[in-house]
Every structure is written in structure tokens, then in C-alpha cells.
């Protein structure tokens, strides 16, 4: 009888993205999982490996063993380095509303460290460990939570809502437990289409989705 090993499948939950999944399973690079033959369907479904949807299934390949030469009868220490991801935070609305200061003081607070950030062209950029789950941004004493991995694909209504909310077209964040009126999303979509010189129909079709990704940044 052949040796049939059970396939390891990870079912995506809210907050998962491929880099964090790879880290959880001990992979140094998410590309090794993303390029796995059995994830061809996932690659077709999701253009961005860091923007997945709850319920997506990720096939986890077997890890290849690696060896390092070392002297015998001597204690050695091997340190695992966790990968990092680059986050980009747009603070243009915060700067627009700040009439007293041109450059607001920004601090990214994380579990392992705090980082003072200098805004340039309204964008904050910083590399963080994939093990960071709930960093917060402090801007002149105000706290803004950052939900890494919680952005849904743009072809989902929740993904459209979250992007439009982040861009200021919707006043309240998406909440899967609350009732969201369809006309709210349609109105916000129409406003976005008007600002982007798109056909105004309130429907977030392929052209609007593409533009929404470009303006939002992901």
C-alpha cells in the first residue's frame, strides 16, 4: 500500500493573510505556500495573497528539511527570524483636519516595540512582524486601531464597504453582526464614482472595483 498522507488545509478566518498563515505554519516565506500546485484555484480566485476571505481554503505543503553544518559536542543556538510586512497608513484626512500643526506626531504602538513615524506626503510606512496582530496608531493623543488582515476582497460587499469607509465615503465601519442598508453602499459607491469620473450607477462593478483598489492602495 502506498503512503497516502492527509492533506493539510487551512481554512481562512477573519484577520488571516498569507504571510501570517505562513508564519503560523513555520514557513519563512509565504511564496512557498502561494506557489504550491494545489493552491492554483486560490491564486485564480484571489489576486492579492494578503487579501483573503473567511472560508477560503489554503493548502499547506510539506516543509522541506534544511541542514546547517555545525561542530559536534558543542551547544549551538539557532534563532528563527520572523518575516515582516510593510504597512502603509494614509493620514491625509487627519492632516486636513489639523489646523494647528503641519506635521502631527505619530506613534505606532506594538506588542514588541513602539515606533515614532514621520509622515511624508500623508503616508506612514513601517515594517512590522507578521506576529503583530493588533497595533494601534497614536496621532496627537488620539488612538486609531489597525486591523491587519481584516480587509476583504473587493468583489465582496464587505470589502467594498471597508474601503469606502476608509476613504471617508461611509460614516460607520463594516460590522458583520449589524444590518447594513444596501442603499448606503450604493450611495457611497455613486459618490466614489462621481469623484473618479466613472459611470454613476451605484454598482461596484469590475471598473469601479479596480479604481477602488487603486485609490485605496489595496
Query: Do 135 and 172 lie in a common domain?
Result: no
pLDDT of the residue at 5 = 61
Of 98, 119, 145, which closes a domain? 145
- 102-106, 181-185, 206-210: which has the minimum mean pLDDT? 102-106
Query: Do 135 and 179 lie in a common domain?
Result: no
Assess if residue 107 is contained within a domain.
yes
Mean pLDDT value across residues 57-70: 78
DSSP state of 61: P
Assess if residue 80 is contained within a domain.
no
Residue 70 has pLDDT above 70, yes or no: no
Query: Do 169 and 197 lie in a common domain?
Result: yes
Indicate which CATH number applies to the domain containing 15: 3.10.350.10
- E strand intervals along 64-197: 84-90, 106-109, 114-117, 123-129, 136-139, 142-145
Assess if residue 138 is contained within a domain.
yes
Classified as helix, coil or strand, 37 is helix
Mean pLDDT value across residues 71-75: 71
Assess if residue 69 is contained within a domain.
no
User: Could you tell me the CA-to-CA distances from 11 to 17, 52, 59, 169, 190 in Å, in that order?
Assistant: 11, 10, 9, 32, 34
pLDDT of the residue at 79 = 58
Quote the cell numbers at residue 86.
Answer: 510593510
Residue 121 has pLDDT above 70, yes or no: no
State the CB neighbour count (10 A cutoff) for residue 123: 13
Indicate which CATH number applies to the domain containing 170: 1.10.101
pLDDT digits (tens, 9 = 90+) for 79-107: 566 678 888 777 765 544 454 555 567 88
Mean pLDDT value across residues 162-168: 91
Assess if residue 2 is contained within a domain.
no
pLDDT digits (tens, 9 = 90+) for 187-200: 999 999 999 999 99
DSSP state of 122: T
Assess if residue 186 is contained within a domain.
yes
Assess if residue 166 is contained within a domain.
yes
Residues of the domain holding 49:
8-60
Find, among 145, 128, 127, 159, the residue nearest to 56 by Cα.
159
pLDDT of the residue at 131 = 82
Query: Do 134 and 164 lie in a common domain?
Result: no
185 and 161 in contact (C-beta within 8 Å)? yes
Across 61-97, b (16+ Cβ under 10 Å) vs e yields beeeeeeeeeeeeeeeeeeeeebebebebbbeebbee
Higher local confidence (pLDDT), 121 or 53 = 53
The share of the chain scoring above pLDDT 90, in percent, equals 45
User: Could you tell me the CA-to-CA distances from 14 to 40, 52, 116, 207 in Å, in that order?
Assistant: 22, 9, 28, 26
Q: Is the pTM of this model over 0.85?
A: no
| Number of domains composing the chain | 3
pLDDT of the residue at 194 = 97
Amino acid at each position: 500500500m502506498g503512503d497516502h498522507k492527509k492533506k493539510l488545509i487551512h481554512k481562512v478566518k477573519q484577520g488571516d493573510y498569507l504571510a501570517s498563515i505562513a508564519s503560523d505554519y513555520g514557513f519563512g516565506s509565504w511564496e512557498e505556500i502561494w506557489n504550491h500546485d494545489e493552491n492554483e484555484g486560490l491564486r485564480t480566485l484571489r489576486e492579492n495573497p494578503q487579501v483573503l476571505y473567511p472560508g477560503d481554503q489554503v493548502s499547506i505543503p510539506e516543509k522541506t528539511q534544511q541542514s546547517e553544518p555545525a561542530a559536534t559536542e558543542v551547544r549551538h543556538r539557532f534563532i528563527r527570524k520572523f518575516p515582516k510586512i510593510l504597512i502603509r497608513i494614509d493620514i491625509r484626512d487627519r492632516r486636513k483636519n489639523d489646523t494647528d500643526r503641519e506635521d502631527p506626531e505619530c506613534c505606532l504602538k506594538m506588542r514588541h516595540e513602539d515606533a515614532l513615524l514621520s509622515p511624508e506626503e500623508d503616508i506612514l510606512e513601517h515594517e512590522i512582524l507578521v506576529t503583530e496582530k493588533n497595533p494601534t496608531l497614536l496621532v496627537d493623543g488620539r488612538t486609531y486601531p489597525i486591523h491587519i488582515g481584516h480587509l476583504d476582497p473587493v468583489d465582496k460587499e464587505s470589502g467594498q464597504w471597508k474601503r469606502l469607509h476608509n476613504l471617508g465615503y461611509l460614516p460607520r465601519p463594516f460590522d458583520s453582526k449589524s444590518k447594513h442598508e444596501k442603499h448606503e453602499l450604493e450611495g457611497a459607491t455613486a459618490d466614489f464614482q462621481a469623484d473618479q469620473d466613472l459611470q454613476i450607477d451605484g454598482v461596484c462593478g469590475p471598473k469601479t472595483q479596480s479604481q477602488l483598489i487603486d485609490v485605496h492602495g489595496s
